[in-house]
Amino acid sequence: MLSKMKLVPAVAMIATLAFYSCGKDDSSPPPQTDDSTDDSPMPINFEGVIDYVKTYGGSEEDEAVGVVQANDGNYIILGSTSSIDGDITDKTTTDSDYWVLKVDPQGAILWSKTYGGSATDKATGITKTTDGGYILSGHSRSNDGDVGGNEGFHDYWLVKIDSQGGIQWETNFGFSGSDQAYKVIQTADGGYFATGFLDVTASGGQGNDGRNPEHGVGEYWGIKMNANGEKIWRRYFGGTNNDRSYDVVQTSDGGFLMIGASESSDFDITDDKGSYDYWVVKVSAGGDKVWTKSYGGSEIDVAYSVTRASDGNYIMVGDSRSSDKDVSGALGNADMWIVKFNPANGNIIWEKNLGGSQFESGRSIQRLPNGTYLISGSTRSSNGDVSNNLGENDAWVVIIDEEGDLQYQKTIGGTSLDFSEDAIQTTDNKVLLVGNTESDDIDIPMNRGIKDLLFIKIK
């Protein structure tokens, strides 16, 4: 049973959405910088209906956090698994490990590999690299197996794999506390940049190489590396409370925009709005703080993803529980909150809420070449901008235009909990969503365990 698609009548032109048209002979993607040029858009007849839904996993907890398309047209999915049965064939203990699946365009598994040690290893992000391989981010408590070291409780654990899933190198960064990477990108110089958070209290101020140790419970922690994953510099930014970065993009000047959420109101945070705010830190190519900016209201506001807009500005997405200060048009308990801002100074260009009377969140955003934006997230509503609710929490896919207005949305799920964490367009002009599900009915064909990896293709 397919969930109902909702087209916004005033903009039914979405039926001719333009997606990236990249030939399968493209040898590699560009580094994730903000000065890349898009391929010419190819108008298509986008139906906006489910092509298929697949679940993968075993009898324990399995989930996806990211998806990219391989050079050969197949799909690479990154997640974590604690299962030792079902689709997981190369692990024997129920601790969590990174899990990478390669599937074909019909969703059939081509290969499956797990990475980790004997303790908990949780994946958070995947980026395709210029050599046709992939760089994986996450955090690890292990000090054995595939993990070459551990400095404390959790460490950043970054894993570079080739196109067949073989480990080329892996590295860990951290101190005695909980240090967790959430995104790693390839930089224009062929190196890498990782973002996440550092437990500064536990590190005793270490991790701010070349700078005086300052402040902190948890800080944004940026690490610039060379092509082999060797540290070039490390810097942290934040205040005396919890500050966590979930995404980063490289800017055309070689610097970086780190985004996430801040609970602090001191040190690097000079304009806090409330409990937690969206927080953006502009960092130079050498690791110097250029500017910071807080966005939000008096309640909890958390940004998870950012992308470069067609006009050179940036758009970030997350969720907001606020209804004051920077946040206008609140719709429910929490809304998908979208903010477009100027990279020169962080000033807001526009902000929009999407959702209904319950809880919505945006977890990823990707620019499409016709000036629209693909967002993945979740919803509990059945009103407002949300066409229907299939039960508890649904995966939610949204497309907005350059002004943040809703062009298309669809809920996918069953009667239990279903979440989408990432979405991309494909070279055959479809949309892929990945996440996790506890359902086994309606749109969800089956569930193998406590939680399954969820994979959705929309045509």
* DSSP string over 8-45: -GGGGGGGG-EE----TT---PPPSBTTPPPPPPEE--
DSSP SS3 for 12: helix
- Predicted confidence band of residue 11 (pLDDT cuts 50, 70, 90): very low
Amino acid identity, residue 346?
G
What integer pLDDT is reported at residue 105 of this predicted model? 97
Going from N- to C-terminal start, the domains of the chain cover: 13-23+37-50+309-459
**Contact status, residue 377 vs residue 411, Cβ threshold 8 Å:** no
Is residue 29 predicted with pLDDT exceeding 50? no
pLDDT digits (tens, 9 = 90+) for 279-316: 999 999 999 999 999 999 999 999 999 999 999 999 99
Which residue's structure tokens are 């930089």?
Answer: 187
Q: Look up residue 428 and give its two tokens.
A: 């055959």
Pick the residue with more confidence: 429 or 415?
415
Element (H, E) at 203: helix 200-203
What is the separation of C-alpha 381 from the centre of its chain, rounded to a whole number of angstroms? 22
**Cα distance between residue 365 and residue 245, in whole Å:** 16
Amino acid identity, residue 58?
G
**Cα distance between residue 207 and residue 390, in whole Å:** 46
- Predicted confidence band of residue 41 (pLDDT cuts 50, 70, 90): very low
Is residue 35 predicted with pLDDT exceeding 90? no
Residues in CB range of 372: below 8 A, 6 or more apart: 17, 399, 400, 401, 402, 407
**Contact status, residue 322 vs residue 330, Cβ threshold 8 Å:** yes
Q: Look up residue 365 and give its two tokens.
A: 């955003």
**φ, ψ (nearest 5 deg) of residue 200:** -70, -35
pLDDT digits (tens, 9 = 90+) for 103-152: 999 999 999 999 999 999 999 999 999 999 999 999 999 999 999 999 99
**Contact status, residue 116 vs residue 147, Cβ threshold 8 Å:** yes
**Contact status, residue 346 vs residue 291, Cβ threshold 8 Å:** yes
Q: Look up residue 238 and give its two tokens.
A: 């934040």
What integer pLDDT is reported at residue 295 of this predicted model? 98
Neighbours of 149 (CB within 10 A): 15
**Cα distance between residue 443 and residue 200, in whole Å:** 44
Q: Look up residue 51 and give its two tokens.
A: 């092509």
Which residue's structure tokens are 């939000």?
Answer: 296
pLDDT digits (tens, 9 = 90+) for 60-90: 999 999 999 999 999 999 999 999 999 999 9
Q: Look up residue 292 and give its two tokens.
A: 């910071």
C-alpha distances out from residue 111 to 22, 77, 279, 320, 438, Å: 24, 11, 39, 39, 24
* DSSP string over 90-155: S--S-S-EEEEEEE-TT--EEEEEEE--SS-EEEEEEEE-TTS-EEEEEEE---STT-----SSBE
What integer pLDDT is reported at residue 431 of this predicted model? 96
Element (H, E) at 202: helix 200-203
What integer pLDDT is reported at residue 45 of this predicted model? 67
Of 438, 434, 428, nearest to 377 by C-alpha is 434
Across 213-234, average pLDDT? 91
Which residue's structure tokens are 């955090």?
Answer: 139
Radius of gyration of the chain (CA): 20
**Contact status, residue 219 vs residue 237, Cβ threshold 8 Å:** yes
Residues in CB range of 288: below 8 A, 6 or more apart: none
Across 323-341, average pLDDT? 98
**Cα distance between residue 367 and residue 264, in whole Å:** 31
Is residue 6 predicted with pLDDT exceeding 90? no
What integer pLDDT is reported at residue 39 of this predicted model? 39
The 3-class SS string of 402-438 reads CCCCEEEEEEECCCCEEEEEEEEECCCCCEEEEEEEC
